[in-house]
């Protein structure tokens, strides 16, 4: 099994995906262990002094003015974890919990948190044992970190609360730790706070969304190209010289992908046939501009994620000169903004894909295709209701595109009076990514049928490869009405697994 070694500096997005989704093992480097020990020495020295230091010998948030005596500090650290583990609602997905645990471990190992090496090792041991704390949907405001989600994870380290074992069964965390020979941690000064104070949940979800959207934007270029063929559109609008005079990188990449898929098609450029038209509708002609803008949004979001991966997010932090300083680096605004931005881009991509699907089904705009691509229109309804489903998904995505980061509800007796809502932005983006996959699956289903109905005209070799792969996956082509939900589910799985991109790339080579 692949092993990810955590040092004192940044981890990569690939590391996060390997741990969160592929179950990669985690090891601490010798450098990280040394940095942990050095920072802990600083915290221990401050804890021994009579002067109060926030997070070390004081309360938290609005209660930070109280100096805590040494005999109560272990209890203080336990209590902050227990009281902050206040999430409610459905369980969060296993991959999200593993991502946020791994990213918190990354920051702990930076040497800026003051956590002891044995606590960090326990975090790695829990990940390696396949133990996943039960984390709930609601509880984070995305400021002072993803407090409630991270608290539920810290609770598991203490042997308290519930967790899911590697067998998928939820049991008391203490039992799971004992079965795997992991001793619960006894938290000391600052450690409870350090385990809770980070943007790890929203960052983990951002990284996974970026990986998924990278595939989906390529998929959208392919389905747009298939729809263009099905509508007998022109590929002249994809010419590189047209996109060179408006040099947005994403637009150029999207146009190049569509052009590669359409190379060798006999279905393009029939504008002056039986139904002459000067130019294609926006949903066809402007596909690279819309998808390209989304691609550039992805590039910006990826830059933010890389910066956050290189960050040590905690409050207070241990600095190299020995100071322990309070700060505001836990605020989730940088991550929250791009999470919202991606949801907007995803909604627009879904919207233009739905418009192409609707055009394929409308006999007044499809340039010769049967109504709803039905076998015997009137007796058969064809794909009429598949477009309804697609429209319902798009409508919800538009609602999900309303920014979470524009909202703020003060908390902690007005000490935390401006919050990012980044966790909420991440949660709705996950739903949007899931819905975009389904929307593109419906377009794929309609476009492949439309292309096959253009008898006497040969599709592009890449299109043919896609159609063959879709049919090999058991997804039916043109014909009488059938139970449609299983076909749409299979098309969804085909897109979700990356098979659509893989099929096209057997002809085009790697798409951009």
Peptide bond preceding 365: is omega within 30 degrees of 0, i.e. cis?
no
Q: CA distances (Å), 443 to each of 253, 288, 439, in order?
A: 21, 16, 7
b/e map 182-218, b = 16+ CB within 10 Å: beebebbbbbbbbbbbbbbbbbbbbbbbbbbbebbbb
Burial of 396 (0-12, 13-18, 19+ CB in 10 A): middle
Q: How far apart, in whole angstroms, are the C-alpha atoms of residue 35 and residue 346?
A: 41
Catalytic residue chosen out of the listed positions 54, 337, 388, 445: 54
Is position 54 annotated as part of the catalytic site?
Answer: yes
Cβ–Cβ under 8 Å, residues 443 and 227: yes
Closest CA to 13 of 329, 281, 305: 305
Torsion of the alpha carbons at 105, 107, 113 and 114, rounded to the nearest 10: 40
Cβ–Cβ under 8 Å, residues 123 and 48: no
End-to-end Cα separation, the chain, in angstroms: 30
3-state secondary structure at position 258: helix
Q: How far apart, in whole angstroms, are the C-alpha atoms of residue 460 and residue 508?
A: 10
In residues, how long is the chain?
A: 512
Cβ–Cβ under 8 Å, residues 491 and 223: no
Strand-pair partners of 336: none
Q: How far apart, in whole angstroms, are the C-alpha atoms of residue 438 and residue 495?
A: 8
3-state secondary structure at position 26: strand
Long-range contacts of range 46-51, CB-CB < 8 Å, 24 or more positions apart?
46/324, 47/73, 47/189
Closest CA to 143 of 340, 427, 417: 417
Cβ–Cβ under 8 Å, residues 162 and 170: yes
Closest CA to 146 of 340, 355, 347, 425: 425
Closest CA to 470 of 449, 439, 456: 449
Q: CA distances (Å), 84 to each of 16, 132, 328, in order?
A: 25, 18, 19
Strand-pair partners of 324: 318
Closest CA to 442 of 401, 502, 382: 382
Q: How far apart, in whole angstroms, are the C-alpha atoms of residue 328 and residue 147?
A: 14
3-state secondary structure at position 67: strand
Q: How far apart, in whole angstroms, are the C-alpha atoms of residue 158 and residue 182?
A: 10
Catalytic annotation, residues? 54
């Amino acid at each position: 099994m692949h092993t990810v070694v955590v040092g004192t500096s940044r981890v990569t997005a690939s590391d996060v995906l390997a741990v969160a989704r592929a179950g990669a093992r985690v090891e601490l480097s010798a450098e990280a262990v040394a940095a942990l020990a050095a920072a802990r020495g600083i915290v221990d020295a401050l804890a021994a002094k009579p002067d109060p230091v926030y997070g070390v010998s004081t309360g938290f948030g609005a209660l930070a003015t109280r100096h805590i005596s040494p005999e109560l500090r272990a209890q203080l650290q336990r209590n902050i974890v227990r009281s902050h583990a206040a999430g409610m609602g459905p369980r969060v997905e296993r991959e999200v919990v593993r991502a946020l645990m791994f990213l918190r471990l990354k920051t702990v190992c930076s040497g800026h948190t003051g956590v002891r090496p044995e606590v960090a090792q326990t975090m790695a041991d829990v990940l390696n044992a396949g133990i996943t704390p039960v984390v709930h949907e609601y509880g984070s405001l995305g400021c002072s970190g993803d407090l409630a989600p991270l608290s539920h994870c810290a609770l598991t380290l203490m042997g308290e609360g519930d967790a899911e074992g590697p067998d998928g069964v939820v049991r008391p965390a203490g039992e799971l730790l004992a079965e795997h020979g992991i001793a619960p941690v006894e938290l000391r000064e600052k450690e409870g706070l350090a385990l809770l104070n980070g943007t790890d949940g929203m960052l983990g979800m951002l990284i996974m969304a970026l990986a998924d959207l990278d595939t989906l934007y390529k998929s959208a270029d392919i389905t747009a190209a298939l729809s263009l063929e099905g509508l007998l559109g022109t590929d002249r609008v994809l010419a590189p010289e047209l996109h060179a005079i408006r040099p947005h990188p994403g637009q150029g990449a999207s146009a190049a992908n569509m052009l590669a898929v359409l190379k060798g098609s006999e279905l393009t450029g029939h504008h002056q046939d039986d139904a002459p038209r000067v130019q294609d509708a926006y949903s066809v002609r402007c596909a690279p501009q819309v998808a390209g803008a989304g691609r550039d949004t992805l590039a910006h979001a990826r830059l933010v994620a890389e910066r956050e991966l290189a960050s040590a997010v905690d409050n207070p932090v241990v600095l190299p000169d020995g100071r322990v300083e309070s700060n505001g680096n836990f605020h989730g605004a940088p991550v929250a903004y791009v999470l919202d931005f991606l949801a907007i881009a995803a909604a627009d991509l879904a919207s233009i894909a739905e418009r192409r699907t609707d055009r394929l089904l409308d006999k007044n705009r499809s340039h010769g295709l049967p109504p709803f691509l039905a076998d015997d229109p009137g007796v058969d309804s064809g794909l009429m209701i598949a477009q309804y489903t697609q429209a319902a998904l798009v409508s919800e995505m538009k609602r999900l595109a309303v920014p979470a980061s524009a909202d703020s509800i003060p908390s902690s007796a007005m000490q935390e009076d401006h919050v990012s809502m980044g966790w909420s932005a991440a949660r709705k983006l996950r739903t949007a990514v899931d819905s975009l996959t389904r929307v593109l699956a419906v377009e794929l289903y309609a476009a492949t049928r439309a292309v096959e109905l253009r008898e006497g005209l040969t599709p592009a070799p890449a299109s043919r490869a896609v159609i063959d792969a879709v049919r090999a996956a058991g997804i039916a082509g043109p014909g009488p009405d059938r139970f449609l939900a299983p076909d749409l589910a299979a098309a969804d799985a085909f897109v979700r697994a990356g098979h659509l991109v893989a099929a096209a790339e057997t002809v085009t080579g790697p798409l951009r």
